[in-house]
């Protein structure tokens, strides 16, 4: 996606807010929402994923990125000791989504396998207040004339407008964990050109979060475009094993044909490093060990935000 | 110099036989001359003994565990590859003889852990403690039928303060059913790839089940809170057992130890920082180890030469260096229907047992090596681990206690200890899944799984 997040914003009729929303930030700052020995646990998880998990000297990104994600999720799940309703979450891997919408007479569709989705039984309450939602009415979406907003999008013939998390595509009716909570994207290709760069990763996260929210809205409120009474919130986390992108998306309206009116909102916290460097073999200069093996530059805040996004909606 | 080069070549265990035997006459300790010992490079049995001694001393004196493991597996020779999941007939007898394991059917009787783990057992305790605190006694909890699990969590959580926390069978059952239904029914997936049925449904179901159960139970078992969950880890172990004569090649005629290597890939594994308690004392004798007169290649087992790996799932530096539970998934080509079609129903249980014994032996022995023990320095405390072998529907539970690592020809002679493996037959967790509900759910199997996950050292 060429322009990255700006293009995605235009396509999904969204207004961008930097940083995470205050409800999530309050969870981050609250010491009650932390595990015991959280820093130790996270450091152990990083060391396990980056240093210890293989018989070779250093694991590759294809190996350590999913392992790091699984270890962090294991740590987050341990919080269900304090909050038993956290057990009401289910991870769905290899998850397929498809959602269609019209945007100024261009029919757009989001489809495909998009990583790992975490579903919950209860929806996340809306993050922005009513005033903020109304204030988006005045916001003008930035266009990048003369570049068409659909540049770099693949044009396909859509025969069936599939629109679901509930009907024929992803989950059947009656699924108890029916609310999409968080999407996880792991950029784990070994070679750098095969991975999404941070800007494109954020755009991809936005598009898929929007797709999931839109599909859920169509299931709940029907196919007519309108402003939603209860906005739908879907979160998204993207990482390449070291850099984390956090995103909270709120769908306020399904009326996407025109560019005026109430817009959707997204809060993005980008490029959060969990650690600076993971040294697998000690660095030796002139027979003296200058840098022993280990993890350098650990930032505890990144995991706190990860955990806060996990706990959001339950605490 | 040719002599020094020859010495270096000979140092690494090349055996050259000669006719002469050098005598070692005793000398008074304050002699001017150095002690007369057997030559180290001659082609004689005494020289071979001395070289072996030197090698053992080098391993004993290794500076770190990584160095010790490196020296232990330094010499590469053709070795038998043992596959825990094998179609070989009666493989579990062969594996028991290779690993000196005694198989005891059924699981070891646990001393009642706080007696509140089974919902049936909580009934007498609840009845006792309800008499203590006078006054309010919520009748839902205090009207238990001993032995029956009240479905749907009818027991009220406000038991008297003296009672240990109980286990909510309804909650656990709903977790398990949700995981099962999501993977098999609710989530729309593409058709399974050819012969990859196990990756399509039972694999993800097992992952979901174990991760949610572990998170649910970590309040009751603080060991789980410090545990490390590995997905598709690698477990390797290399050892010598028995002797054979080299059949062909430039080393023909020499007597060599029989080398084995297990390279295992469990589906899921939980590693913990503290060791599980021993089940029976170190020197107990609970049965006999089968003796097999044939060569291992008759099983069939095949030889290959490659790196001698010893690995528990992560490197030595990891603090979670003891094993708790492994979960194995039976692959598609060993499914039950195949055995039934070939009129080999009794081999189904053999498959589960062989998998349990071999995988657990490899894991516990590798854990022992990570602590510095090896076949010359036998374990001083038993290493215990558990495993669950399943094909998605049928579950079999295994418990293993490693009492000895000394399996080589020299060390096995005066070694009375045997390794012990307890195991059950495979039982189904449910009958069938249709129309969004699970029919015939078996609580016993789930309870056994929960008991496995709750296992922990006594002082925690």
Q: If you search the block for the tokens 């249980």, which residue do you land on?
A: B349
Judged by a CB distance cut-off of 8 A, whether residue B306 touches chain A is: no
Quote the pTM value.
0.84
CA distance B252 to chain A (A): 33
Residue A143, pLDDT score: 67
Residue B422, pLDDT score: 94
Query: Which residues of chain B are within 8 Å of residue A51 when distances are taken between CB atoms?
Result: 315, 317
Query: Which residues of chain B are within 8 Å of residue A175 when distances are taken between CB atoms?
Result: 182, 186
In chain B, the percentage of residues whose pLDDT exceeds 70 is 81
Q: What pLDDT digit, counting tens, does each position of B60-101 carry?
A: 999 999 999 999 999 999 999 999 999 999 999 999 999 999
ipTM value for the complex = 0.85
Q: If you search the block for the tokens 């489809």, which residue do you land on?
A: A111
Q: Which of A196-205, A236-245, B136-145, B448-457 has the lowest mean pLDDT?
A: B136-145
Residues A81, B229: C-beta atoms closer than 8 Å: no
Residue A5, pLDDT score: 78
Judged by a CB distance cut-off of 8 A, whether residue B318 touches chain A is: yes
Query: Which residues of chain B are within 8 Å of residue A80 when distances are taken between CB atoms?
Result: 215-216, 218
Going by C-alpha positions, the residue among B304, B324, B327, B315 that lies closest to residue B238 is B304
Query: Which residues of chain B are within 8 Å of residue A170 when distances are taken between CB atoms?
Result: 187-188
Q: Please report which confidence band the pLDDT of residue B409 belongs to, taking 50, 70 and 90 as the band edges.
A: very high
Q: Does A216 have pLDDT greater than 60?
A: yes
Q: What is the mean pLDDT of chain B?
A: 81
Higher-pLDDT residue of A268 and B159 is A268
CA distance A175 to chain B (A): 6
What is the DSSP secondary structure assignment for residue B333, as one 8-state letter?
G
Closest residue in chain B to residue A172, using alpha carbons only: B186
Residue B54, pLDDT score: 94
Token pair for B453: 């996950």
Q: Does B21 have pLDDT greater than 60?
A: no
All residues at 6 or more sequence positions from B354 whose CB lies less than 8 Å from its CB, including other chains:
B84, B85, B86, B88, B91, B92, B95
Residues B188, A91: C-beta atoms closer than 8 Å: no
Residue B74, pLDDT score: 92
Q: What pLDDT digit, counting tens, does each position of A83-117 carry?
A: 777 767 777 777 767 677 777 666 677 666 667 78
Residue A146, pLDDT score: 61
Residues A78, B228: C-beta atoms closer than 8 Å: no
Residue B109, pLDDT score: 83
**Which of A52, A70, A168 lies closest to B314 in CB terms?**
A52
> Would you call B70 exposed, middle or buried from its count of C-beta atoms within 10 A (0-12, 13-18, 19+)?
middle
C-alpha–C-alpha distance, residues B196 and B332, integer Å: 7
Q: Does B28 have pLDDT greater than 80?
A: no
Q: Which of A80-84, A154-158, B3-7, B32-36 has the lowest mean pLDDT?
A: B3-7
Q: What pLDDT digit, counting tens, does each position of A21-38 carry?
A: 888 888 888 877 777 778
C-alpha–C-alpha distance, residues B227 and A87, integer Å: 18
Residues A90, B182: C-beta atoms closer than 8 Å: yes
Residue B29, pLDDT score: 63
Query: Which residues of chain B are within 8 Å of residue A172 when distances are taken between CB atoms?
Result: 185-186, 188, 436
Q: Does B312 have pLDDT greater than 90?
A: yes
Q: Tell me the average pLDDT across B170-197.
A: 80
Q: Does B162 have pLDDT greater than 60?
A: no
Closest residue in chain A to residue B436, using alpha carbons only: A174
CA distance A75 to chain B (A): 8
Judged by a CB distance cut-off of 8 A, whether residue B317 touches chain A is: yes
**Which of B185, B215, B318 lies closest to A77 in CB terms?**
B215
**Which of A55, A67, A176 lies closest to B178 in CB terms?**
A176
Q: Tell me the average pLDDT across B329-351.
A: 91
Q: What pLDDT digit, counting tens, does each position of B103-149 carry?
A: 999 998 875 343 334 433 333 333 333 333 333 333 333 333 333 33
Q: What pLDDT digit, counting tens, does each position of A256-312 carry?
A: 777 777 888 888 888 889 898 888 888 888 888 888 888 898 988 898 888 888 888
The answer to whether residues B268 and B208 touch, using CB atoms and an 8 Å cutoff, is no
Q: Please report which confidence band the pLDDT of residue B435 belongs to, taking 50, 70 and 90 as the band edges.
A: confident
| DSSP-H helix ranges across B385-430 | 409-412
Q: Tell me the average pLDDT across A186-204.
A: 84
C-alpha–C-alpha distance, residues B155 and B140, integer Å: 6
């Amino acid at each position: 996606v060429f322009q990255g997040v700006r293009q995605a914003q235009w396509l999904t009729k969204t207004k961008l807010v930097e940083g995470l929303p205050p409800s999530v930030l309050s969870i981050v700052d609250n010491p009650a929402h932390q595990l015991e020995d959280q820093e130790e646990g996270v450091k152990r998880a990083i060391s396990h994923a980056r240093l210890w998990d293989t018989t070779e000297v250093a694991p590759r990104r294809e190996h350590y990125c999913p392992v790091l994600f699984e270890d962090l999720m294991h740590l987050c799940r341990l919080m269900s000791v304090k909050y038993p309703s956290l057990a009401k979450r289910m991870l769905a891997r290899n998850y397929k989504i498809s959602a269609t919408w019209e945007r100024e007479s261009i029919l757009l569709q989001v489809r495909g396998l998009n990583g790992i989705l975490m579903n919950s039984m209860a929806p996340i309450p809306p993050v922005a207040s009513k005033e903020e939602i109304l204030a988006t009415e005045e916001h003008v979406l930035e266009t990048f004339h003369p570049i068409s907003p659909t540049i770099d999008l693949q044009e396909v013939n859509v025969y069936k407008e599939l629109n679901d998390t509930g009907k024929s595509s992803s989950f059947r009716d009656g699924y108890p964990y029916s609310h999409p909570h968080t999407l996880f994207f792991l950029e784990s290709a070994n070679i750098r050109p095969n991975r999404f760069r941070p800007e494109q990763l954020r755009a991809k996260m936005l598009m898929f979060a929007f797709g999931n929210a839109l599909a859920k809205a169509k299931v709940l409120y029907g196919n007519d475009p309108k402003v939603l009474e209860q906005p739908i919130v879907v979160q998204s986390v993207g990482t390449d094993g070291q850099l984390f992108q956090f995103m909270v998306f709120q769908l306020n309206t399904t009326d996407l044909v025109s560019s005026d009116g109430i817009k959707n909102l997204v809060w993005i916290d980008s490029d959060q490093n969990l650690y600076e460097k993971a040294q697998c073999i000690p660095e030796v200069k002139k027979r003296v060990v200058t840098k022993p093996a280990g993890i350098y530059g650990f930032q505890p805040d990144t995991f706190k935000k990860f955990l806060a996004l996990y706990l959001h909606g339950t605490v | 110099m040719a002599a020094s080069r020859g010495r270096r070549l000979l140092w690494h265990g090349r055996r050259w036989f000669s006719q002469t035997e050098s005598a070692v006459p005793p000398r008074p300790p304050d002699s001017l001359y150095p002690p007369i010992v057997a030559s180290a490079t001659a082609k004689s049995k005494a020289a071979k003994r001395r070289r072996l001694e030197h090698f053992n001393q080098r391993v004993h004196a290794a500076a770190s565990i990584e160095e010790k493991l490196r020296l232990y597996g330094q010499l590469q020779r053709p070795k038998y590859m043992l596959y825990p999941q094998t179609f070989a007939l009666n493989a579990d007898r062969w594996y028991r003889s290779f690993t000196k394991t005694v198989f005891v059917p059924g699981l070891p009787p646990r001393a009642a852990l706080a007696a509140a783990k089974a919902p049936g057992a909580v009934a007498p305790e609840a009845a006792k403690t309800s008499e203590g605190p006078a006054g309010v006694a919520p009748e839902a909890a205090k009207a238990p039928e001993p032995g029956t699990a009240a479905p749907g969590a009818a027991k009220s959580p406000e038991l008297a303060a003296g009672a240990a926390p109980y286990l909510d069978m309804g909650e656990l059952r709903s977790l398990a059913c949700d995981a099962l239904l999501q993977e098999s029914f609710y989530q729309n997936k593409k058709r399974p790839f050819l012969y990859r049925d196990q990756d399509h449904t039972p694999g993800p179901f097992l992952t979901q089940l174990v991760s949610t159960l572990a998170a649910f139970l970590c309040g009751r078992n603080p060991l789980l809170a410090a545990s490390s969950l590995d997905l598709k880890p690698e477990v390797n172990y290399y050892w010598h057992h028995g002797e054979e004569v080299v059949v062909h090649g430039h080393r023909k005629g020499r007597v060599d130890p029989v080398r084995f290597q297990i390279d295992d890939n469990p589906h899921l594994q939980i590693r913990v920082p503290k060791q599980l308690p021993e089940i029976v004392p170190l020197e107990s004798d609970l049965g006999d180890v089968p003796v097999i007169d044939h060569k291992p290649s008759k099983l069939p087992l095949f030889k290959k030469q490659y790196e001698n790996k010893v690995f528990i799932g992560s490197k030595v530096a990891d603090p979670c260096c003891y094993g708790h539970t492994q979960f194995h998934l039976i692959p598609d080509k060993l499914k039950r229907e195949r055995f039934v079609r070939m009129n080999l129903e009794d081999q189904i249980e053999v498959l589960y047992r062989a998998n349990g014994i071999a995988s657990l032996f490899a894991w516990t022995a590798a854990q022992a090596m990570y602590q510095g023990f090896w076949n010359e320095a036998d374990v001083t405390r038993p290493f215990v681990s558990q495993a669950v072998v399943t094909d998605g529907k049928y579950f079999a539970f295994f418990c293993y206690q490693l009492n000895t690592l000394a399996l080589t020809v020299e060390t096995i002679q005066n070694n009375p200890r045997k390794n012990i493996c307890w195991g059950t037959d495979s039982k189904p967790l449910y009958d069938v899944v249709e129309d969004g509900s699970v029919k015939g759910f078996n609580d016993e199997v789930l309870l056994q799984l929960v008991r496995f996950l709750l296992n922990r050292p006594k002082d925690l």
